[in-house]
Amino acid sequence: MTLNIQQLRQQDWQQAIEPRTLARGEFCARQGLARIVSLGTDSFSASCQGSSEQRYRQQIKLQDQGGRWRVEGRCSCPVRFNCKHVVAALLTLEAQWLAGAAIAPTAEKLVHPAPIQQDAEHAPPGRLAATAPQSQERPQDNSTWPRAPGRSSAATPVPEQLLDNVKPQAVLVLGSHVRVHYDARKARMVEQAQHRAALAFEYAGRLAFGTAAKDLLVRLDEHNNLRIRRDRQAEAGLRTTLHDAGFSVALRQSEALALQPGEHFELPNDKAWLAFVQRQLPQLREQGWQIQLQPDFRFNLTPVDDWYATVEESPQQDWFDLELGIEVQGQRLSLLPILLQAIPSWMLAPGALAQHQDDEVLLVNLPQSDTRLALPFARLKPLLASLGELFWRAPPANLQQLRLARADLGRLTALAQGPTLNWRGGERLRDFAQRLHRLPEHNLLAPTDLHATLRPYQLQGLAWMRSLAELEVGGVLADDMGLGKTVQTLAHILGEQQAGRLSAPALIVMPTSLLANWQDEAAHFTPQLKVLTLHGPKRHGQFAAIAEHDLVFTTYALLARDIERLAAQPWQLLILDEAQNIKNPRSKVALAAGQVPAHQRLCLSGTPLENHLGELWSLFNFLLPGWLGDAKSFNRDYRVPIEKYGDLQRLAQLNGRIKPFLLRRTKEQVASELPPKTEITHWIELTSAQRDRYEILRLAMDKKVRGQIERLGLARSQIVILEALLRLRQACCDLRLLGDSVQPLKSSDSGKLTALLKMLEQLFAEGRRVLLFSQFTSMLTLIEVELQARQIPYALLTGSTRDRRAPVQAFQNGSLPIFLISLKAGGAGLNLTAADTVIHFDPWWNPAAEAQASDRAHRIGQDKPVFVYKLIARGSVEEKIQQLQQAKASLARGVLDGGGQADWQLSPDDIDALFAPLRSEFKR
């Protein structure tokens, strides 16, 4: 026997239901609580009022199993499956048939205005079909209610009308569900959103869904049914359109569209949903798809009609006010209150912002409105970064605009990214910001009379200095040693003179040791410039002649003494060579440099940052006072977070502020023709006499240092610490440097000097030319004695050397195999390309100083590979110093090269390491 759902009998399905549930369902049915919503060939939808007066939805599928029905009833109530509401729906359907009434769905107000047939095999639990509002509700007739199974009363078959060749129209419903919960791992409340799309097909005003594509049966009236033939191929094509848009079948039920009939689909992430809504959804509408957006759909976005920015400059020109806003539906709105309400403070950190690409958008709700907007991160990042900096401190309440320092001008250029922005005010500031962003715009040709051929990177440096001059700002040329900062600077001055812009002389301040080098370079590269050197007692009679010259040289030692005369003279350029000489902003020379008036200020330094970020602040305080704030705020906002805590976010912000004004190129980047440089650590084993003396000295110094730290603290004990380390370093070099030995000592008592002499013997046999650096001039004296005893000719340069040209020329001419140089006297300003080997006899804190010394040989003009040897006593304070050097070098790389390493700090652990016992064995 073939069963017919329109002739449903309780006796054919009651065995599938638990007796207690059957009794409860019969009670609900007798109360008339169930309604039939839609009817198919083997399934139907219904609704039933629960005990709490809440109406639940049922989706019931019946499978013919040889004369009996197998019931699969899904309900939206907590029981979910084959509950009393399902029983009530089954009995209600049977009662209508027994009463001889037309089986038609009632007029329930559900999501869709048409009946839906579903393939129940693909229906998620609790998902319901829709209704047909054109059908009239038929009241239940309790008198015809089936009270016992087995009642058999034949019903008259109802004629059917067939509707064929009807093309389905796609109906797509989009919805979202947002849940906020506490995330213990992130230690904050987080928002989790799910989104779904439900696909159905409309046939002549009726809806269907599912992949089975069975006919859709509709009861027109008591005497007529309508059978609509579904178009399987057309439905598959519409379904494929969704798959091509990136959708996949939702494998899990979501509250986003829990009760929405249709096949449920999902996209992989929010970015895909946004792209679908913005790009593909309009195309689907054009193709005739019906799109229904639920009120809670997160991507139901209102377009932004216009963007505007208002800039108001301060009279002092050291800050400006910025308001960024939008126009939506004819209303102008400032973005700051919207963003402050929509974004948690943790998202304002630069690290969080960096995780978002510029093509991503931020979804926000307008305050006290259901209007939702998509704002591009490319436009918001500069504003959010400024907000993030305000959150370092307490942000003002009811913020409508931002007050920014001049150092934030670059953010005006960044704001121009994205949609068209209507600017109001701030034309001068915006022009400055755009030109600053383009630095350098292009390479310049070298001045016609320059007696040098500039390399491409040097031409770029020349264009950079010219561009800064046009903007009336200064900068730091921080090229590696040996890349020609001197010739670039002279070319810039010559270009200004030839263009008629050198209306006043250029003043270059330098260490005394570099005067001769600058005089020689100027005479060689720019002989047409009139040069005046202010040095020695005769300089007082030369001040009156300054205006007659193009270029004036003076020294740091004389700058503070002559400041009254120099400050009274107008200058076109003020240039500090080896600008790290003003790294202490409170020093006399730094204060004096700040008093000299000039249209443009430049700093030349291969090591603008040697020990800490305060040195960099001092340079910028000279170049652009106020650009990095005052010293107190700089220490609070940058130095402490970066140096002490390794804060990479603050490092990135600092890099952004100084980037336009700091041009740094390494030899690896721009001088590919330069031969390689190889650095080698040569480990030394101390003699037994050195080891014994080192340990006695270490114990005494350790006790002294720790007592001082206990009394005054680590920061105020620096002098005592450095004195103690100096003594230990001297013991590593040669015990004779200590000056307290009661017994006569000789060179063989120094493991390092013995190793050096063996090295030199081998190097000279290979024809190598050597530069030997030491911190201690007394050590150089001991080495001199050994060279004289072996009749090895040498040159010597220390701070007491009067004529620097003579030893340099003697070595460069090739007549001497070795050049002894004190690190302080010869670490900068020398061109010694005749050497191919550099030896650092003893290490010091500053790795940049050692690198400068090495670059006396490894520089432009060198045609041989350069080998750099560092003599280090293993296990001693020298090894610990080398480890600290690496940490300090990472700080310099993080700032000067825009890198990410900036975690150096001096801690009590460093003190423990520096004064640790000397290891008893020598390990290679």
With beta carbons less than 8 A apart as the criterion, state whether 217 and 39 touch.
yes
Mean pLDDT of 431-458: 79
**Percentage of the chain modeled with pLDDT above 70:** 81
* Angle in degrees, 0-180, between the axes of helices 751-765 and 718-733, rounded to the nearest 10: 60
**Above 70 in pLDDT, residue 794?**
yes
Mean pLDDT of 482-488: 86
Q: Sketch the domain layout of the chain as residue ranges.
A: 1-103, 169-293, 306-432, 456-670, 679-914
Per the listing, tokens 């040069």 go with 531
Per the listing, tokens 């031409």 go with 459
What confidence score (pLDDT) does residue 361 get?
A: 77
Mean pLDDT of 890-912: 56
Complete DSSP assignment for 644-675: IH--HHHHHHHHHHHGGGEE---HHHH-TTSP
H or E segment and range at residue 385: helix 377-390
Strand 116-118 vs strand 206-209: parallel, antiparallel, or unpaired?
parallel
Mean pLDDT of 473-480: 88
What confidence score (pLDDT) does residue 714 get?
A: 80
Query: Which is higher by pLDDT, 512 or 273?
Result: 273
Per the listing, tokens 């609900």 go with 28
What confidence score (pLDDT) does residue 782 get?
A: 95
What confidence score (pLDDT) does residue 779 get?
A: 95
What confidence score (pLDDT) does residue 389 get?
A: 59
Complete DSSP assignment for 676-744: PEEEEEEEEPPPHHHHHHHHHHHHHHHHHHHHHHHHH-SGGGHHHHHHHHHHHHHHHH-GGGT---SS-
What confidence score (pLDDT) does residue 494 get?
A: 95
> What's the chain's Rg over C-alpha atoms?
43
Query: Which is higher by pLDDT, 773 or 127?
Result: 773
Of 771, 753, 775, give the one whose Cα is nearest residue 763. 771
Tell me the HSE value of 31 on the side-chain side, using a 13 A CA sphere: 16
Distances (CA, A) of 31 to 48, 84, 530: 11, 13, 113
Neighbouring residues of 102: CB distance < 8 A, sequence distance ≥ 6: 96, 138, 158, 219, 221, 222, 223
Cα gap 191→175, rounded to integer Å:
16
At the top level of CATH, which class does the domain 456-670 belong to?
Answer: alpha beta
Would 456-670 and 679-914 be classified into the same CATH topology?
Answer: yes
Weakest mean pLDDT among 494-508, 526-540, 908-922: 908-922
pLDDT band at 3 (very low <50, low <70, confident <90, very high): confident
Mean pLDDT of 170-186: 84
pLDDT band at 316 (very low <50, low <70, confident <90, very high): low
Weakest mean pLDDT among 88-92, 282-286, 781-785, 799-803: 799-803
**Above 70 in pLDDT, residue 732?**
yes
Q: Which long-range contacts (CB under 8 A, 24 or more apart) does 777-786 make?
A: 777/822, 778/737, 779/733, 779/734, 779/737, 779/841, 779/842, 780/820, 780/821, 780/822, 782/734, 782/736, 782/737, 782/747, 782/753, 783/753, 783/756, 783/820, 783/841, 784/820, 786/747, 786/753, 786/757
Cα gap 216→232, rounded to integer Å:
12
Cα gap 912→720, rounded to integer Å:
15
What confidence score (pLDDT) does residue 369 get?
A: 72
What confidence score (pLDDT) does residue 904 get?
A: 38
Weakest mean pLDDT among 264-278, 806-820, 849-863: 849-863
Mean pLDDT of 518-537: 91
Q: Report which listed range, 318-332, 684-698, 855-869, is most confident.
A: 684-698
pLDDT band at 241 (very low <50, low <70, confident <90, very high): very high
**Above 80 in pLDDT, residue 674?**
no
CATH architecture of structural domain 1-103: 2-Layer Sandwich (3.30)
pLDDT tens-place string over residues 591-612 = 999 999 999 999 998 877 777 7
Query: Taking all residues of the chain, what is their mean pLDDT, rounded to a whole number?
Result: 80
What confidence score (pLDDT) does residue 489 get?
A: 96
Of 705, 703, 859, 881, give the one whose Cα is nearest residue 771. 859
Vertex 165: Cα angle to 162 and 169 (nearest 5): 110
Query: Which is higher by pLDDT, 904 or 253?
Result: 253
Per the listing, tokens 């379904």 go with 239
Count of residues in the chain: 924
Cα gap 480→545, rounded to integer Å:
35
What confidence score (pLDDT) does residue 849 get?
A: 74
The amino acid occupying position 329 is Q
Mean pLDDT of 174-201: 83
CATH architecture of structural domain 679-914: 3-Layer(aba) Sandwich (3.40)
**Above 70 in pLDDT, residue 347?**
no
- Quote the tokens at residue 854: 């090495």
What confidence score (pLDDT) does residue 901 get?
A: 38
Query: Which is higher by pLDDT, 777 or 30?
Result: 777
What pTM was estimated for this model as a whole? 0.53
**Above 60 in pLDDT, residue 140?**
no
Cα gap 209→230, rounded to integer Å:
10
**Above 90 in pLDDT, residue 488?**
yes
By CB neighbour count within 10 A (0-12 exposed, 13-18 middle, 19+ buried), where does 744 fall? exposed
Distances (CA, A) of 197 to 114, 129, 292, 294: 19, 15, 10, 10
**Above 80 in pLDDT, residue 846?**
no
What confidence score (pLDDT) does residue 242 get?
A: 94
What confidence score (pLDDT) does residue 375 get?
A: 82
pLDDT band at 36 (very low <50, low <70, confident <90, very high): confident
- Quote the tokens at residue 7: 């002739």
Tell me the HSE value of 924 on the side-chain side, using a 13 A CA sphere: 1
Distinct helix (H) and strand (E) counts, the chain: 30, 34
What confidence score (pLDDT) does residue 207 get?
A: 81
**Above 90 in pLDDT, residue 198?**
yes
Vertex 779: Cα angle to 774 and 781 (nearest 5): 115
Q: Report which listed range, 77-81, 132-136, 871-875, is most confident.
A: 871-875
**Above 90 in pLDDT, residue 245?**
yes
pLDDT tens-place string over residues 16-27 = 777 778 888 888
Of 614, 712, 600, give the one whose Cα is nearest residue 661. 600
At 360, is the secondary structure helix, strand, or coil? coil
**Above 80 in pLDDT, residue 587?**
yes
